Structure 1
Amino acid sequence: MTNDTISFQQGALAVFDQDASGGETGAISRFIPFRFNPEDLNRELSVEQAQGQGAQPGGGGSDGGSADQGADADSGSLKEAFAINLKFDLAYREERASGNMPVKYGILPEISALEDLLHPVESETDQPSDGSEPTRARGRRPLVLFVWGERRVVPVKIVGMSINEQFFNGQLYPTRAEIDVSFEALGEGDARDNTRVSSSLKFTADNRRKMARIYLDTTASQGANINLPS
């Protein structure tokens, strides 16, 4: 994970298309920088109970431990979900980022680019044919990396959006909007078949441990005077 290709002063979504098997198709296919960095990042971590763990029928809880095993990190997988609020305003569109984007469309291009992440990537087999094929194979949704600063690059799937278009021009194109985007972080199961997912998970995990160590190293002396029962 190189630090010289992305500006870490601005949050962003880096998007990679995937082939039919879920494999990578190369470099970033789309890059969606946040016009304004969200003021809040709401994260929720939970341990998902492993299959077959928990209280057993008729066990009566005699051993006192079976019901708690499902909420243990050794027997369940860690899940992370988070949400952000993205704001778009035509009046504050940066000149260097807008390029030749027509003003007459308002911010519909930005909204559409985000919304498109919920749809499967169109492949060659999805293109219209001569009509002889009654069905077409469904493509896969793109792989999305949530880039938040220089130490957090999280592979995610987008599970929902709430789009609030607020003002419109004369052609009814929105000129201001707020979009609540909900994510679920991908896990080790997704990393088995995708090296970009595994490298992103490792990158973020390594940096999490570094940050934790900074805190723990500075507070170790504070626990020296605490007498715990043996």
Structure 2
Amino acid sequence: MNDDYPGRPKLLKGALIEFSKRFIVPVPNIIIFQYNPETMVRKLETWYSGGQEGGQGGNSEPVNAQPHDPPETFDLTLEFDAADDLDNPVNQGIAIVAGVSNRIAALEMLLYPEEEAGGLLGSAVGALAGAAGGAAGITSNAKPVPRGKVPDLLFCWGPSRIVPVRLTSFSVEEQAYSPQLSPIRAKVTVGLKILQPRNLPCSKEVSSELLKTSYNIYKKVKQGLAASNMVGQSADAIMGMLPI
């Protein structure tokens, strides 16, 4: 099939967008999936009268009164292969040295808290300065940079599913190695929990407002899909299901 055929649908790739202060340039860090996972498990939790999700409260019976939207999670596995990069002149050098380690590291950093100032480069410069001062016998009285919060994330899975999330689980299966023992194939299994507006900090930052807006749009899309299902049902079909 000709890939240039005008009627061919464009393949959209899933991605995680990080809004972080660890980089010097204040732009989102977009981590595009090399391959879209073939399956994804979604879970919604029922509210229990004990005040906690998942039946952890004093009463194990679900109730009708519910103070907020049900918690929702995604579980998916991402596959990485350095073969594509080895054929790409732009990324070939990194692939030869690191394999897919850079892709895995980009995901791992989403679990680490941000530094308050200076970001990754500031930390590297500070470490070098400390090493140089120690070699010269100079003692520094500088206090360590306080640790911050984990970065804000958007999970992008098509135009109708862009939601704020937080990583809740992370595991890596390295499957093959280069002669330098860098992984050249790997599977990364991640768990994502959708953050509702009540879970997001009260902040006037653009990223915070974007996260809240994306959740509200995601919920509106769900409501619209549910409404379209009701419209598609004929009155005769509904009456035929009633025991009268």
Query: Hey, what does 2:35 align to over in structure 1?
Result: 36
Q: Is the alpha carbon distance of 1:226 and 1:124 closer, same or farther for their aligned partners in structure 2, counting shifts above 3 Å? A: same
State the 1:199 CA deviation.
Answer: 0.6
User: How far, CA to CA, are the matches of 1:9 and 1:181 in structure 2?
Assistant: 20
User: How far, CA to CA, are the matches of 1:179 and 1:116 in structure 2?
Assistant: 13
Q: Deviations over 1:67-122 (max 9, x none)?
A: 64x54352465111121100001113474984864532111110111111110122
Query: Hey, what does 1:121 align to over in structure 2?
Result: 114
Residue identity matched to 1:45: L
State the 1:123 CA deviation.
Answer: 2.9
Identity %: 26
User: How far, CA to CA, are the matches of 1:101 and 1:167 in structure 2?
Assistant: 17
Query: Hey, what does 1:22 align to over in structure 2?
Result: none
Residue identity matched to 1:107: V
Q: Is the alpha carbon distance of 1:192 and 1:116 closer, same or farther for their aligned partners in structure 2, counting shifts above 3 Å? A: closer
Residue identity matched to 2:218: T
1:11 aligns with 2:14: yes
Q: How does 1:92-111 map to 2 (within 5 A)?
A: 92-93=84-85, 95=88, 98=91, 101-111=94-104
Q: Is the alpha carbon distance of 1:217 and 1:77 closer, same or farther for their aligned partners in structure 2, counting shifts above 3 Å? A: closer
Deviates most, 208-217 or 157-166: 208-217
Residue identity matched to 2:147: R
For the 8 Å contact 1:125–1:137, the answer to whether it is kept is no
- Aligned residue among 133, 143, 146 for 2:155: 146
- Aligned residue among 82, 85, 101 for 2:74: 82
User: How far, CA to CA, are the matches of 2:159 and 2:77 in structure 1?
Assistant: 20
Query: Hey, what does 2:239 align to over in structure 1?
Result: 224
For the 8 Å contact 1:161–1:180, the answer to whether it is kept is yes
4+ aligned runs moved over 6 Å, structure 1: none
- Any gaps of 5 or more consecutive residues in structure 1? 1-6, 20-24, 58-65
Structure 2 length as normaliser, TM-score? 0.72
Q: Is the alpha carbon distance of 1:219 and 1:95 closer, same or farther for their aligned partners in structure 2, counting shifts above 3 Å? A: farther
Structure 1 length as normaliser, TM-score? 0.76
For the 8 Å contact 2:117–2:145, the answer to whether it is kept is no
Deviates most, 79-88 or 183-192: 183-192
For the 8 Å contact 1:47–1:73, the answer to whether it is kept is no
| Aligned Cα root-mean-square deviation (Å) | 3.2
SS of 2:114 mapped into structure 1 = coil
State the 1:31 CA deviation.
Answer: 0.7
Q: Is the alpha carbon distance of 1:208 and 1:97 closer, same or farther for their aligned partners in structure 2, counting shifts above 3 Å? A: farther
Q: Deviations over 1:164-212 (max 9, x none)?
A: 1111111111100001011111113124623122111012112112222
Q: How does 1:151-166 map to 2 (within 5 A)?
A: 151-166=160-175
Query: Hey, what does 2:189 align to over in structure 1?
Result: 180
For the 8 Å contact 2:48–2:60, the answer to whether it is kept is no
Q: Is the alpha carbon distance of 1:102 and 1:204 closer, same or farther for their aligned partners in structure 2, counting shifts above 3 Å? A: same
SS of 1:116 mapped into structure 2 = helix
> Number of paired residues?
207
For the 8 Å contact 1:18–1:143, the answer to whether it is kept is no
Deviates most, 192-201 or 151-160: 192-201
- Any gaps of 5 or more consecutive residues in structure 2? 1-9, 131-138, 203-207
User: How far, CA to CA, are the matches of 1:136 and 1:48 in structure 2?
Assistant: 40
